Amino acid sequence: MQPNRCVVCDTHMSDEAIWRKHSDELVRYATVLVGPSDAEDLVSAVVVRVLASGTSLGDLDDARPYLYRAVLNEAKNLRRSRGRSTPYAVEAVPPPEMRPEVVGAVMALPPQQRAAVYLVYWRDHSVGAASKLMGCSPGSVKRYLFLARARLRRRLSDDA
């Protein structure tokens, strides 16, 4: 007999079902963090690493924040290995009304700040929900947003 499957919190779902449920949103998230050419590879590397560690996503209460944190951590590792100044191009991720210079400025932010901007401003998550997905405190998300706004203000005023 199979255990009941909870489609809301991922408990007792197979790793494959959890992957199918969250893969599209994880790739969109990774696209903001590392760009479209590396997003799918990054997410695949995260899933391979998680499964190779012996962790079953179905044993977690909610695999979604775990996967979001893993994607963010992998993006930070990739940025470290390539150098901090690598610019990223984004395809169809930002809201359509956003000006190209704003998108470019957001893509130049460090990964944590970019993740906070994406989750809170582009995906309309609350600070609390973003903190859960990023694996940090709400205060950290607020700090990332504060720093991001300051950088964006400086960069966009320099471009004007």
Q: Does domain 94-160 have CATH number 3.40.50.2300?
A: no
Residue 57 is predicted with a pLDDT of 84
- 3-state SS, residue 95: coil
Q: Residue 4 — very low, low, confident or very high, per pLDDT cuts 50/70/90?
A: very low
- Of the listed ranges 1-10, 40-49, 102-111, the least confidently predicted one is 1-10
Q: Residue 13 — very low, low, confident or very high, per pLDDT cuts 50/70/90?
A: confident
Cβ neighbour number for residue 153 with a 10 Å cutoff: 11
Residue 7 is predicted with a pLDDT of 47
Residue 74 is predicted with a pLDDT of 92
Report the percentage of the chain scoring pLDDT > 90: 38
The class (CATH top level) of 1-92 is mainly alpha
Residue range 43-48: average pLDDT?
A: 89
Q: Domain map of the chain by residue range? A: 1-92, 94-160
pLDDT at 10 over 80: no
Phi first, then psi: give them for residue 13, nearest 5 degrees.
-85, 155
Of 98 and 77, the structure prediction assigns the larger pLDDT to: 77
Q: Whole-prediction pTM value? A: 0.73
Residue 93 is predicted with a pLDDT of 55
Residue range 13-40: average pLDDT?
A: 88
Residue range 104-129: average pLDDT?
A: 91
Q: Residue 160 — very low, low, confident or very high, per pLDDT cuts 50/70/90?
A: low
What does the pLDDT look like over 122-151, one tens digit per residue?
Answer: 889 999 999 999 989 999 999 999 999 999
Cβ-defined contacts of 107-110 (< 8 Å, 24+): 107/32, 107/35, 108/151, 108/155, 109/148, 109/151, 109/152, 110/79, 110/84
